[in-house]
Structure 1
Amino acid sequence: MKRPVRLAAAAAVLSLAGSLGQAAAETAPALPSLPPPLPPRADGKPADLAFGAYQRGNFLIALREAERRLDQNPRDAAAMTLIGVIYRDGAAEGKNDLEASRWFRLASNLGDPQAAYELGSLLLEGAKDLPKDRDAAKAQFERAAARNQGAALYNLGVMALEASGGKTPDYAAAAQYFLKAANAGYDDGAYSYGVMLREGKGVPANLAESARWLKRAADAGVVAGQVEYAIMLFNGKGVPKDQAASVAILRVAAAKGNPIAQNRLAHLYVDGVGVDRDLAKAAAWNAFAKAGGLQDQGLDVATANLTADERSRFTRIVRQTIGN
């Protein structure tokens, strides 16, 4: 199920990056609303039918089972959180953010960190009958962060970097939030902490440590982390130079539709650096990057006069890539 985006991480790192780093930061992962947890029951037994039904897509059954759990235990915060998620997504009943916020607030008040995060996300975005309230959202994120909820810690890091209302970015606080988020298992935190280490914002610059955190983000599938780490590998910054490994990672990110990776691959194929020179492949990746909004006049010029064979291969590559 597609979940609503809450707050773009690009806003967190955009001011930290320069040239190549900035381009990658613009594709930084967004803050998702996490899927509901699968906690053990209060008696220590495995999660019951409510959460199992939700995972299988049986949302009405999940709702009814969660309500049954509350009949048995009116302080079952996990069941309340699940009900809030179902109302927020309109999964079993009509979408109702106000009702979702009511359930999240009840669970948050009982100490459920996931509920606090979900409520903070709703308040941050605002909805029908639920005005935006960033201060209240931050308070909920802080409540969740106190229980080491990774996404909430990450959101607080993003907020610390915002410059508004006369406030200046607090890079030191942001770096610590991102580090805590990463240590809590939230891989976008690893990405942002790696960028701050590379730029020396909020923490002393340390390219080796930056590469370590960005590699973790890349290995976890964070696309912006893949791009940043690939660039460090290619240039041998903070990590031994390995152009072949860099190209392999860029190909993964490019295949996921990242225009920065696509643009970088196109340049490599034009220059024949790290790969065999191939203008057909360069033109194809440039076309994909342009479709993603990244224009590059230099690549346009370099691939403007393809031979008949190159044009044929260009068409074939594009069709194979998009599955047509």
Structure 2
Amino acid sequence: MSTPSYAKVFARCLASAIVAAALATGASAQISLTPPGMKQPPPPEKPKSAPKAKAPAPKAKAAPKPQAPKADEAAPKPSSPPAQKKDASSKAATPAPAADNPNVDAAYGAYQMGLYRTAFNLAMKRVQETSDPKSMTLLGELYSNALGIKRDDTKAAEWYKQAADRGDREAMFALAMMKIAGRGGPANREEGARLLAASAKLGKAAAAYNLGLLYLEGQTFPQDLKRAAELFRQAADAGNPEAQYALATFYKEGRGVEKDLTEAARLMRAAAMVDNIDAEVEYAIALFNGTGTPKDIPTAVALLNRASRQNSPIAQNRLARILVDGIGVPVDKVNGFRWHLVAKTAGNGDPDLDAQFAQQPPEIQKKAEEAAKKWFGTK
């Protein structure tokens, strides 16, 4: 499954794929729309209008193995700066606009506008004058991601450590992820875990989520699903979508918590509403089958369509089956086979749909192939 467009969001550092890797059983994905990478539940009752599936679909793609966070995802970002804003280069920094509110941090204001060299100069001045930990964290961010200055992981780690020692939870989190990834020094997962715990205790949701992943992973600590669930709950309650998805998976499978399909669906919905693609797909499946939530095929199809357009091969395959067979929606073989061809190109093949496609009239095949080419921009 393709990665959601969440570039440089720190809670993705260990990736929600770890959840799937720990819980997946490699079960086949059938017309009942089994969630990607999850254990096959007993087949739910199909919608009355749904024709009988001709053959089971192939196994869902295996979830990737747990991995260390990416190097460029370790630093906290206040928000993504507008794409059209550029810094004034190293020759002369553009001064940050004066804030009406004297409590507004001018350095972070410059950072948010993409004026990275200005942000660097303002943060450095503030550190020299007041030893401000927030400015130290910002300097770590700029060095870590080569924003307005040459990338230097060693200096980034040093600034993060100074801020962390002064109690800044953002710096604790960023330094933890660097320690786990082995950036700016030797990898030290134990120290990274200690920093995550300290940051989580201060209310950093992403730190609680990533600490939960370590308990789920079972390498830094012995695997403890109950503790992982507690940490996911802390982060989920603070609105972290990855934690909401992970906790929903726990409730669905009854791992670390009492099995509760209604709570699983509620959490999946919360994560789906903020564009967590994995959650969009699984919540669509829950709506399609009426699992833990009232059945709602139109909404399920809409979510699958949205996830398909965000390049989720799993969603594309499920949507293809629904459209080709007309399950709860009008039959649309051209679009159905279009999504089948797109998903197949991404590695999510489906022999049953291949067989059906081969039986279609030449004009249907041609239109579907042209639509797939148009999707890929080759026509």
Question: Normalization by structure 2: what TM-score?
Answer: 0.77
Q: Is the 8 A contact 1:37 1:114 kept in 2?
A: no
Alignment-derived partner of residue 200 in structure 2: 145
Structure 1 pair 256–246 and aligned structure 2 pair: CA distance change class (3 A): same
Alignment-derived partner of residue 120 in structure 1: 176
Q: Which moved more, 1:96-105 or 1:9-18?
A: 9-18
Alignment-derived partner of residue 149 in structure 2: 93
Structure 1 pair 277–309 and aligned structure 2 pair: CA distance change class (3 A): same
CA distance in 2, matches of 1:232, 1:311: 31
Partner secondary structure for residue 294 of structure 2 = coil
Q: Is the 8 A contact 1:233 1:241 kept in 2?
A: yes
Alignment-derived partner of residue 167 in structure 2: 111
- Pick from 27, 37, 61 the counterpart of residue 118 of structure 2: 61
> 1:316 offset after TM fit, Å?
4.2
Greater helix share, structure number: 1
Q: Aligned runs of 1:194-213 on 2, under 5 Å? A: 194-213=248-267
Question: Normalization by structure 1: what TM-score?
Answer: 0.89
Per-residue CA deviations over 1:64-86 (Å, capped at 9, x if unaligned) read 11112112311x11111110010
Unmatched segments (≥5 aa) in structure 2 = 1-5, 28-33, 39-61, 80-100
Residue 23 of structure 2 aligns to which amino acid in structure 1?
A: L
Unmatched segments (≥5 aa) in structure 1 = 39-43
Structure 1 pair 45–153 and aligned structure 2 pair: CA distance change class (3 A): farther
> 1:309 offset after TM fit, Å?
2.5
Alignment-derived partner of residue 177 in structure 1: 231
Q: Is the 8 A contact 2:143 2:150 kept in 1?
A: yes
> 1:2 offset after TM fit, Å?
4.9
CA distance in 1, matches of 2:113, 2:290: 45
Q: Is the 8 A contact 1:145 1:153 kept in 2?
A: yes
Q: Aligned runs of 1:116-265 on 2, under 5 Å? A: 116-127=172-183, 130-164=185-219, 168-265=222-319
Q: Which moved more, 1:58-67 or 1:314-323?
A: 314-323
RMSD of aligned alpha carbons: 2.5
Residue 247 of structure 2 aligns to which amino acid in structure 1?
A: Y
CA distance in 1, matches of 2:102, 2:211: 33
CA distance in 2, matches of 1:291, 1:78: 46
Partner secondary structure for residue 295 of structure 1 = coil
- Pick from 34, 37, 46 the counterpart of residue 78 of structure 2: 37
Partner secondary structure for residue 161 of structure 1 = helix
Structure 1 pair 22–15 and aligned structure 2 pair: CA distance change class (3 A): farther
Q: Is the 8 A contact 1:16 1:22 kept in 2?
A: no
- Pick from 84, 92, 107 the counterpart of residue 50 of structure 1: 107
> 1:183 offset after TM fit, Å?
1.2
Alignment-derived partner of residue 20 in structure 2: 13
> 1:319 offset after TM fit, Å?
4.5
Structure 1 pair 23–289 and aligned structure 2 pair: CA distance change class (3 A): farther
Q: Is the 8 A contact 2:76 2:174 kept in 1?
A: no
CA distance in 1, matches of 2:300, 2:64: 18
Residue 283 of structure 1 aligns to which amino acid in structure 2?
A: F
Give percent identity, aligned residues only: 33
CA distance in 1, matches of 2:211, 2:369: 46
> 1:299 offset after TM fit, Å?
2.0
Alignment-derived partner of residue 343 in structure 2: 289
CA distance in 1, matches of 2:189, 2:319: 40
Q: Which moved more, 1:275-284 or 1:187-196?
A: 275-284
> 1:232 offset after TM fit, Å?
0.5
CA distance in 1, matches of 2:273, 2:37: 20
> 1:35 offset after TM fit, Å?
4.1
Structure 1 pair 94–141 and aligned structure 2 pair: CA distance change class (3 A): same
CA distance in 2, matches of 1:207, 1:274: 23
Provide the aligned length of Structure 1 versus Structure 2.
315
By relative contact order (CA 8 Å, sep 6+), the higher-ranking structure is: 2
Residue 50 of structure 1 aligns to which amino acid in structure 2?
A: A
Q: Is the 8 A contact 1:247 1:274 kept in 2?
A: no
CA distance in 1, matches of 2:102, 2:20: 42
CA distance in 1, matches of 2:355, 2:300: 25
